[in-house]
Amino acid sequence: MRAEDDADSLDGATRQFMAARRQLFGIAYRVLGSAAEAEDVVQEAWLRWQRTDRAEIQEPTAFLATVTTRLAINVAQSARMRRESYVGPWLPEPVDTRADPQLGAERAEALDLAVLLLLEKLNPVERAAYVLREAFDYPYKRIAEILETSEANTRQLVTRARKHLAAERKAPAGPTAHRRLLEVFLAAARTGNLSELEQVLTEDVVSYTDGAGMRGASRIPVVGRLRVAKYIAAFAPRFWPPTDVRWVEANGRPAVLVSAGGKAVALLCADVSERGIERVMWVMTPAKLSPYVASLAD
């Protein structure tokens, strides 16, 4: 092959890959709950695409989606063991969805931090089946081919995932109600107002702090309205006075970026239903916060 032909082939391969890249990242991120790991998977997919005999590939996007999904499942299987030894609660890595509200998908499904957290309880294959069906609207037959299983089994995988989410999560509130309740929570948290906190929290609310062992970060989830309210109120005097807050968007939902001395110290997210705040999620680990903050400046 002439050098010019090789260059043309690589240019074409690059265009095909870039056209699919957002979707590939969206698949990997939902399966893994980590933007950093998803980027690694997408990079590996690109390397494999370069080494592939592309003349034999009739549907580049379908091929790339298959490679990415299988790579993500492999990474998720090893990540599961790492997360079992994680110090304190593990939360998904937040992403800024302003530029791409659906993060490369047909629908903005399996993108909310609370959903990603719940999907973590499923095995990686179940997660992948659910993501491909609910977020990307893949036909069951196509998903079965990607996962190398039967169409009947694929339907069972998706059904189990749906049942798990339905059992664990109430229907989310709309954007306006979500923002309003989070505003009330934030005001009450900053003043340590116990009664106002209790008014917006559900009876079985859970507060998660992803600090990876950082000093001051709770190493266990705090459960129940009164316990969470007391916990939030207790650290108000020492946590909030030196901070500034900024309203941002994370994973398609309103969120609050908390900074001290010009440095981000926490991202406050919530899972909100018509009942009130179901989950409070504090992302404090620098490895997760820093990339998110950097994306806000893009």
pLDDT tens for 142-183 read 999 999 999 999 999 999 999 999 999 999 999 999 999 999
CA distance 260 to 244: 6
| Integer angstrom CA distances of residue 53 from 21, 50, 138, 158, 237 | 19, 8, 25, 33, 62
pLDDT at 84 exceeding the cut of 80: no
Residue reference for tokens 């509200």: 101
User: Residue 46 has which token pair?
Assistant: 């690109």
| Alpha-carbon dihedral 153, 155, 161, 162, rounded to 10 degrees | -160
User: How many C-beta neighbours within 10 Å does residue 214 have?
Assistant: 15
Plot region of 71 (φ>0 → left; ψ -120 to 50 → alpha; else → beta)? alpha
pLDDT at 7 exceeding the cut of 60: no
User: Residue 163 has which token pair?
Assistant: 């049942």
H/E segment holding residue 68: helix 60-84
| Integer angstrom CA distances of residue 78 from 34, 89, 92, 129, 167 | 13, 18, 16, 18, 27
Confidence of residue 1 (pLDDT cuts 50, 70, 90): very low
pLDDT of residue 4: 41
pLDDT of residue 5: 47
pLDDT at 234 exceeding the cut of 50: yes
pTM above 0.85, yes or no: yes
Q: What is the chain's mean pLDDT, rounded? A: 93
- Percentage of the chain exceeding pLDDT 90: 85
Confidence of residue 59 (pLDDT cuts 50, 70, 90): very high
DSSP code, position 223: E
Q: Do 277 and 118 touch, CB atoms closer than 8 A?
A: no
CA R_g for the chain: 21
User: How many C-beta neighbours within 10 Å does residue 152 have?
Assistant: 10
pLDDT at 2 exceeding the cut of 50: no
Q: Do 243 and 258 touch, CB atoms closer than 8 A?
A: yes
pLDDT of residue 53: 86
CA distance 164 to 96: 26
| Integer angstrom CA distances of residue 21 from 8, 83, 269 | 20, 27, 27
Residue reference for tokens 């705040």: 277
Confidence of residue 204 (pLDDT cuts 50, 70, 90): very high
DSSP for 146-178 reads HHTS-HHHHHHHHHHHHHHHHHH-PPBPPHHHH
Confidence of residue 8 (pLDDT cuts 50, 70, 90): low
pLDDT of residue 78: 86
